[in-house]
Structure formats: structure tokens, C-alpha cells
Amino acid sequence: MLELAKRGAALRLRELANEVNVLLSAFPDLHDAFDADELPVSFIVRRDARRARAKAVRRQKPMSAAAKRAVSLRMKYWAERRTGRTGHQT
């Protein structure tokens, strides 16, 4: 019985946190309406995780020489096709 109560409480807390998010997105001035220390811990953790994910830098994997050569050939191929096509139209 206690386990069900914990699950229900956790679910309700998530619902409330989502409702706070909806309200804050609808009314941005509410951000300053309460102290950050009054927020539930799970809300603060989730908010900070979202911010960290948004700030994460996505880096491309370095290309090998063969991959660069293949890209270069494709670019030259399409550049020739474009110039050939525009040359016939004028």
C-alpha cells in the first residue's frame, strides 16, 4: 500500500511540475513571482538538466582523407551539372 502511495505522489509531483512549466511558458512574468529555493528538488534537477542539454556542444566527428576526397568529388560533380544546366538555358 505504501508503494502505491509513493507512486501516486511521484506521479502527482510530475503533473504539478509539468503544470508549472505550462504556466511559466504562458506567463513569462511569473518567473520572478517565486523564490527558486521554494521549488521542489525534482523540478530544479529537471530544469538544470534541460539547460545543460541545451548548452551542450555538438561536435562533428573528424573526416578521414578518403571521406574528404569523396565529398570533394561529389561537390565537383554537382557543380559541373549546375553550370552545364545553366549554360544551356541562357
CB 17 within 8 A of CB 40: yes
pLDDT bin (cut points 50, 70, 90) of residue 35 is low
Q: For 38-59, what is each residue's pLDDT tens digit?
A: 666 666 677 777 776 666 666 7
CB 8 within 8 A of CB 15: no
* pLDDT at residue 55 in the model: 67
pLDDT bin (cut points 50, 70, 90) of residue 90 is very low
Share of the chain above pLDDT 70, in %: 67
Reading the block at residue 40, the C-alpha cell is: 521542489
- What is the domain partition of the chain in residue ranges? 1-59, 63-90
Per the model's pLDDT, the better-predicted residue between 83 and 85 turns out to be 83
Share of the chain above pLDDT 90, in %: 21
Grid cell 549546375 in the structure block, residue = 82
